[in-house]
Amino acid sequence: MNTTTTTLEIGRAGWFSGRSPMDWAFALLIVLGAGYAFQRYGVAMDGYEKAILVGSVPSLIALGWFWAPLRGLSLGVGAATLAAIALYLRQSDGFGADLAAADQVFLLKYLLSSQSAILWMSTLFFMSTLFYWIGFFSGRGNDAVGLRLGSGLAWAAVFMALTGTMVRWFESHQIGPDIGHIPVSNLYEVFVLFCWMTALFYLYYEAQFKARALGGFVMLVVSAAVGFLLWYAVAREAHEIQPLVPALQSWWMKLHVPANFVGYGTFALSAMVALAYLLKAATPRSLWIGLVAVPGAVFVAVALAWLVAGEGAGNAAALAKAMRMVGGTTVFFALMIALRERINPRSPSLELMDDVMYKAIAVGFAFFTIATVLGAFWAAEAWGGYWSWDPKETWALIVWLNYAAWLHMRLMKGLRGVPAAWWSLVGLVVTTFAFLGVNMFLSGLHSYGEL
């Protein structure tokens, strides 16, 4: 009698056992870098900052192992930041860095000071948007030269944004021990955060789905944010580093704000993908109706906010700014609708765009939920209560409920296609009001970045 023996292999290779020598070399460099930072700057850190430094080591290693391009980005940003610090300290008088070197030392003045790096970020994002659209209309598919250049420029912009952020953090500590803080404390700083985070999430989805054709759409919202950033820096001199107000002098800020902007960035990304989806799937009639209905609803909401806030001169100016934003957005969408016949043949498949939209919202919702919980703990520490129905808190809750409902309808009711895309696009309007509109029209405990 023939006997057949079947061997059942139970389990699979562990996560660590499959690591390559390059993986371990990257991990070693991160550990050495963190050790150097602890040895060099540990005396100036409090307990929370030391805990964040230690926690960042496994986090960076895990991210680098999860997605290889993050290895070069993190190591490059670290090297550029240390180079900038060394250039500042070379001008030191023995008591700290000489920040005047930012206008005197060539590499600082034109590349590595926080202001120079952020200006490079702005230029590179604008160029990335331009090349993405040139490549998009060239009709040569995912490997079009313009699309590859757009992607490369987006990576360069993220690199300069992160370098500028890290150097700005160092610069703030050189002004005074009570002034140094992580640069996520005002509208200028968080717009930099929004730009690089939105772009980085897009670049991940671009690599995963091989869909560079979406870059032009997503980079439009990043370029709009860069435009606002530059205007705000000039109009409010917001690029100047300022001391933190007492309520912001908390380690909760280091966690709450970045988590919040993962949500804002991915929600914006999903909305721009939704725009590409609608141009391809919605009827021309519904697009033109939406073009009228959505700005009209925004106008009514802004007018009501203006009336609630009071008809003062400041609020009238805010209303005028909001109407210019609505007008510019309307013109932009009208242009996109007019060009849809040229755009649609080159955009990705509806199934791919639907998947990207869903995954971006799912990631954003998870982080926005974490940020909301962290914000409640921060509020309890700063103001003595977890929730006070402050306008910012109320609108954050509206944003959360909006995307919670979107995910519920998708997972429980199978929401797909055009309705889901419209909902995602309108969600960007809601999110934008929570982000900017509250600062423009509604005062409250969170009024740290007035327009």
Q: Helix 215-236 crosses helix 145-175 at what angle (to 10 degrees)?
A: 30
Checking if the pLDDT of 65 tops 80, the result is yes
Average pLDDT over residues 167-171: 92
- In a 10 Å sphere around its CB, with 0-12 CB exposed, 13-18 middle and 19+ buried, how is residue 52 labelled? middle
Checking if the pLDDT of 71 tops 80, the result is yes
Tokens of 140: 């040569």
Checking if the pLDDT of 10 tops 60, the result is no
Q: Is residue 427 part of a domain?
A: yes
Q: Is residue 139 part of a domain?
A: no
Q: Is the dihedral of CA 165, 167, 170, 175 positive or negative?
A: negative
Percent of the chain at pLDDT > 90 equals: 55
Q: Is residue 366 part of a domain?
A: yes
The tens digit of pLDDT for each residue in 262-315 reads 999 999 999 999 999 999 999 989 998 888 887 777 777 666 666 665 555 556
- Greater confidence, 326 or 408? 408
Average pLDDT over residues 415-442: 87
The tens digit of pLDDT for each residue in 195-217 reads 999 999 999 999 999 999 999 99
- Greater confidence, 185 or 424? 424
Q: Is residue 10 part of a domain?
A: no
Q: Is residue 437 part of a domain?
A: yes
Confidence band of 449 (pLDDT split at 50, 70, 90):
low
Helix (H, G, I), strand (E, B) or coil at 92: coil
Domain containing 274 equals 257-451
Tokens of 85: 């610090």
**H helix or E strand, kind and range, residue 434:** none
Q: Is the pTM of this model over 0.75?
A: yes
Q: Return the pLDDT at 4.
A: 47
Which whole-number Å values give the CA distances from 51 to 30, 34, 56, 315, 373, in the listed order? Answer: 16, 12, 8, 43, 20
The total number of structural domains that make up the chain: 1
Residue 31 CA from chain centroid, whole number: 26
Q: Is residue 290 part of a domain?
A: yes
Whole-angstrom Cα Rg for the chain? 24
Percent of the chain at pLDDT > 70 equals: 88
Q: Is residue 273 part of a domain?
A: yes
Average pLDDT of the chain to the nearest whole number: 87
Q: Which residues contact 432 (CB under 8 A, 6 or more apart)?
A: none
The Cα–Cα gap between 333 and 134 comes to 19
The Cα–Cα gap between 236 and 450 comes to 10
- Greater confidence, 198 or 178? 198
Q: Is residue 271 part of a domain?
A: yes
CB-CB neighbours of 149 under 10 Å: 17
Amino acid at the residue 305: A
Checking if the pLDDT of 135 tops 50, the result is yes
Q: Return the pLDDT at 294.
A: 75
The Cα–Cα gap between 214 and 275 comes to 10
Q: Return the pLDDT at 310.
A: 59
Tokens of 421: 């895309």
The Cα–Cα gap between 350 and 248 comes to 43
CB-CB neighbours of 271 under 10 Å: 25
